[in-house]
Structure 1
């Protein structure tokens, strides 16, 4: 199930509708607080009414179910990719299987689930806005031989009509812009027009 707009809630499966709405209501202020902390490192002091659509104009929730696979060596839950969001809040069960790429070569690090904790990924949109000061996290999912896995990522995205590009606060001292300004809906279309492949979709906005 994918949820993007709350006003589409009448289309959602009734078995999960109320729980998803409640989770989104709880997670929204948390996402805003996390973004405010990250933005202070970019000399952006608060998320006001003008910045809110740019940073968290839409939210999408996936409810993912990965069945057990008797031979995990011949299957993968989700291939390597980066999220296109500003940030992603990930709620996962205790099965494990999420891997993030390390900083040295092609090593992959397993993200051990911690009860009561969320995993937070930086996405491509924030990498673009931060002019590479923050880097999106390349990750993948491996299936388990005997246990199913359930994960609920909440993607905090710009609104479709937002124009994303490096913040002027970053460039005011002459720092070179690594990205052009692009309409988020155009980037969205580009991202989903191709098979996920690492950080390749960032090329759409690179100068």
Structure 2
């Protein structure tokens, strides 16, 4: 997979993609993340990419021309499955969307900034609009990084143990069960004996029951669409 991210402040994301699981996935050849400075596609002497909104009002708007120039340049080099615009009024991002996008080939993420982008960008180029929550950030960079992380870790080979992602919260409309590691006893607090039994089937059953119980307590809304 190749993920291209278009931003007015790409350096904001450089460190995020240079460490941990994402870095290992890139080094192993499973994914390539490329950051693009939108200002490189401006024809303005001062590399301007925004302008005042027609009709007045506070705040600046990202112009269509540099965005169109950047997207068309990328699309001339390869085929993209989605052009995703990060925006507060987009579809709420969840594990189902992450799973679907992880099966794609190439993705473009467009990071909004200021008061957003010229609506014609959304009409002409964007194929999917995503939000990571009902709040507003200074730009779409952090949101794009969050989505990219959730997607990349699902790509086969990125995680050392591919089954790890399959047991994450939300994969089956359930929150993950509690987990423990050594020591087995800490200041009088003992881990559940079942985890020391070595009985794999019973451990799986216990974890499933714990997942259901935790979901009932913390996110009962998730069970509305499940079979439990």
Q: Same fold (TM over 0.5)?
A: no
TM-score by length of 2: 0.25
Larger Rg: 2
**TM superposition score normalised by structure 1:** 0.27
Q: Which protein has the bigger helix share?
A: 2
Using CA pairs below 8 Å that are at least 6 residues apart, which structure has the higher relative contact order? 1
